[in-house]
Structure 1
Amino acid sequence: MKSDPRSSIFIRCCYGYAVSGMAVLVIGAILPSIIKEAGISFLAAGGLLSVMAIGNLSSSFIFPVMVPLMGKKRSIILVTLFVPSSLLVLSLLPPLPVMYAVILLYGFTRGCITILNNAAVNDIYGDTATGKLNILHCSFAIGAFLAPLLTAMMMKLGFGWRVTLYMIVVLTIISAISYGTMNYDLINEAQKAIEKRKNSLNSTASGNKGFLRSFAFYCIAFILFFYLGVENCINGWFVTYLQNTGVMSAEFATTLVSLTWLVIMGGRLICAAMSKKIHRSTILLINSIGSAVCFFILIKVNSLPLVTASLLGLGFFLSGIYPTCIANAGPLIQGSTFGMSLLTAISAMGGIITPQIVGGVADRVGIVAAISILVFNVAFVIILSAVNFKVWHQKKAV
């Protein structure tokens, strides 16, 4: 039986995305050690998280320009080699400006890999891509789950944080080789076929800008703005936060953040199943309220079981907010590339600004108190989700 040539591309994309998940989450896992050994402030550490988010956002504008100039294969090989080199430089704890530069490249590469993976799988599988894309995104979550767990294991065995970093360097080099030997001819052929179909249909969806006058569009965009602020702080700050509460050991804190990603994976699958029976705006409101309750418990209690349960609950309820918002925005932007870019840009700003604010306040009052700032993000997510719920149900009633 002849094997499907698309399978090799899909497996390589899944591996690359899993390694990308590990590379992203390991930064948050080792951040307490970097703060301690490099002697940097919480504000400076928050700057690292914000710079990584800026790099991720910049890939949306730079990578599409690189591909026509250099070709898809050369572009992805170049950017994937930024990750191991960035991690090696970071392990040396260079001056802060150098750290910012390598983390910027680090975030840029993450964004490029996301663009390539989603586009490649979407193009080669066409109308049957939905299931494959879900598996692809689960592979990122698996990597995100493994990175903090691996860090905790190395700490328990008495190894330093650099050992974990070097292990991921090896995995990222393998990922670069994997992308470099991928069948790009098949991807390019699929892309050309899609372009032909688009041209034959004379699609004007990409030029639609009616969403710019839509209140519902901006409502969803700012839900994502405040949500991504919370998500990036969980990824970057929560190992540091949980260690500083004094409720748990450093190893348990790192493992708990890792387990949260397993819950996130399960939460997304449950939300996908619920969306067939419940309107997206209703799911969004339920998730917003549930995440607020869990977050309030998390910052108010000092009991290890309650902190553990509330963080896992927070991961579960937050997990469905991003994909549900994207689905909710679909009918508004009607396939507009500009619309999706604007939605991504507005939401990304929240992920850039919030970790920096938390870091700055942490220098004055400590990271435990500073995390309470996220109450504002959570409150605005609830308010805007309630408004979104009202808008969509008014449309249904008309």
Structure 2
Amino acid sequence: MKSAAADRLFSRSAAVASCVGSILIGMLQSLYGPSIPGLRHEFGLSPSGAGLGLSLHFTGGVAGVLAFNAIHSRISNRALLAWSYALMAAGGAGFALAPNWLLALAAAFLCGLGFGGIAYGLNQLFAVGFGERATAMLNVLHAHFGIGAVLGPGVVAWLGPDDYRYAFGACAVLAAALVLAGSRGVRTQVSDGPPAERGNRGLGLPRVLVGFLVLYILNVAVEAGVGGWEPTHLETIGYSAAMAASTTSVFWLMMTVGRFLVVPITLRHSPERILAVCAAGMTVCLLLTLFKGVAPVAYAGVGLFIAPVFPTGLSWLNKALPQARRAGAWVIAGSMIGGVAAPPLLGVGIEASGIHAVPWLLTALSGASLLATLRLIRLTRRSAS
């Protein structure tokens, strides 16, 4: 049942500021890749050396999720968000002003800590702070993350890679502004539910939590796999490099559009039903990428179907395990690890089977995600009965 406390967790201005914060973390994550030419020129780096910036950012992100989850019970929601934005502001400014690469990497890690805190904090608070509208609001939140991810490369392209410092500096200024604006209007405490729920540590909890971890790792693997290997696959089957790059941009754009489109659907259908349809739709679209004539459209379809999975799954997790609300932190951290590990692991499979195997490998991952979703539906229904 929706509680009055949940309704008061966010003021309208705080919800808007949170969406701006989601745009910010989407931009920050997407700035590293387009900045690589500028980083190599500035610090004399190899391609792999320049790529360490994003790796340290994600490493900090995982650490930030787990660290803020560990201390959340001892600090207020406002403090969690304020400290996270402050870390991002310090990290972004440090990356923009770093005189050498070691300090830049340290700043990227610091920025990642704040990134992880905001990723954990906003997802957790939106999951419990909007009652029956949580699924819809989580999709709105993640749609704004997508807007930031689309804007970031555009900003670097407009400035030029050698002026990447200005892009990171602007993000630092925005993060500093959100230290106060982003936490104002957020209640200091979240209702933890009735005592019976808090004390209920049923035997189904570990299996359900593991099921959600598997589901998220598989979906992030599909997302990262398409984003990383779609251009190469399309070029291999005969499309131009420009067409392949444009189609990949459409995939990310469809992920943003899909999260807005699903909002009214979340008000009429359960999260588990939405995720089952999404998993089936992804699998069908990935099978269609086997056919050259429809492959670009099919990849766009994957983006549309995968879009609601991350935010809608968090809402489902919160409903399935109300007695373990910190479980979201492990799922978010697991998804980040999956995003780092999936592309190289897929690369091993592609080296063994060839680029033409990309649709089959991704379809296998998506099919496993569909099976994991169906298994979770059975587990959560059994736990509820």
Q: Which residue of 2 aligns with 1:139?
A: 144
Q: Deviations over 1:148-206 (max 9, x none)?
A: 4445x54xxxx74334x34422430221231234385653xx225x56xx5xx763534
Aligned to 1:179: 178
1:295 partner letter:
L
For the pair 1:83 / 2:71, whether they are aligned, the reply is no
8 Å contact kept, 2:24–2:175: no
AA paired with 2:285? C
Percent of aligned pairs sharing the same letter: 19
Task: Assess, with a 3 A threshold, how the Cα gap between structure 1 residues 272 and 377 changes in structure 2: closer, same or farther.
Answer: same
Distance verdict in 2 for CA 1:243–1:46, change over 3 Å? farther
Q: Deviations over 1:98-139 (max 9, x none)?
A: 77655433432222223444567789x765974665543332
- 1:191 corresponding residue in structure 2: 188
Partners of 1:392 and 1:23 lie apart in 2 by: 36
Letter in 2 for 1:136: L
CA distance in 1, matches of 2:40, 2:283: 29
Distance 1:205 1:86, change over 3 A: farther
Q: Deviations over 1:273-314 (max 9, x none)?
A: 33455554443232222212323444x4555xx343122111
- What is the aligned length? 368
Q: 1:17: how far off?
A: 1.9
The RMSD of aligned alpha carbons is 4.5
Conservation of the 8 A alpha-carbon contact between 1:241 and 1:368:
no
Alpha-carbon distance in 1 for matches of 2:12, 2:52: 39
Which of 280, 283, 286 is equivalent to 2:274?
A: 283
Hey, what's the Cα distance between the residues in 2 that align with 1:269 and 1:140? 12
Gaps of 5+ in 2: 1-9
Q: What CA distance in whole angstroms lies between the structure 2 residues aligned with 1:107 and 1:254?
A: 27
Question: Is contact 2:23–2:144 with CA below 8 Å preserved after alignment?
Answer: yes
Q: What's 2:300 paired with?
A: 312
**Secondary structure of 1:210's aligned partner:** coil
TM-score by length of 2: 0.73
> Scaled by the length of structure 1, what TM-score is found?
0.71
Q: Output aligned runs, 1:199-218, within 5 Å.
A: 203-210=195-202, 212-213=204-205, 215-218=207-210
Q: Is the 8 A contact 1:46 1:359 kept in 2?
A: no
Distance 1:378 1:203 in 2: 38
- Supply the AA of the counterpart residue of 1:109: G
* 334, 339, 355: which one aligns with 2:343: 355
Where do residues 334-353 of structure 1 align in structure 2 (5 Å cutoff)? 334-353=322-341
Structure 2 residue 258 is matched with structure 1 residue 267: yes
CA distance in 1, matches of 2:133, 2:265: 20
Deviation at 1:140, TM superposition (A): 1.5
Q: 1:29–1:239: 8 Å Cα contact kept in structure 2?
A: no
Cα distance between partner residues in 2 of 1:183 and 1:344? 21
User: How far is the alpha carbon of 1:8 from its aligned partner?
Assistant: 4.6
Following superposition of structure 1 onto structure 2, how do residues 1-398 of structure 1 map, counting pairs within 5 Å? 6-29=11-34, 38-40=45-47, 51-63=56-68, 65=71, 68=75, 73=82, 76-86=85-95, 89=98, 94=101, 101-118=106-123, 130=134, 134-150=139-155, 154=158, 160-163=160-163, 165-182=164-181, 184=183, 186-187=185-186, 190-192=187-189, 194=190, 203-210=195-202, 212-213=204-205, 215-234=207-226, 237=228, 241=232, 245=236, 247-249=239-241, 253-298=244-289, 300=290, 306-358=294-346, 373-388=361-376
Checking the alignment, whether the CA contact within 8 Å between 1:267 and 1:317 is kept in structure 2 is: yes
Question: Is the CA contact 1:145–1:259 (under 8 Å) kept in the aligned structure 2?
Answer: no
Instruction: Evaluate the alpha carbon distance shift between residue 270 and residue 180 of structure 1 in structure 2; reply closer, same or farther with a 3 A threshold.
Output: closer
In the alignment, the residues of structure 2 paired with residue 358 and residue 99 of structure 1 have an alpha-carbon distance, to the nearest angstrom, of 29
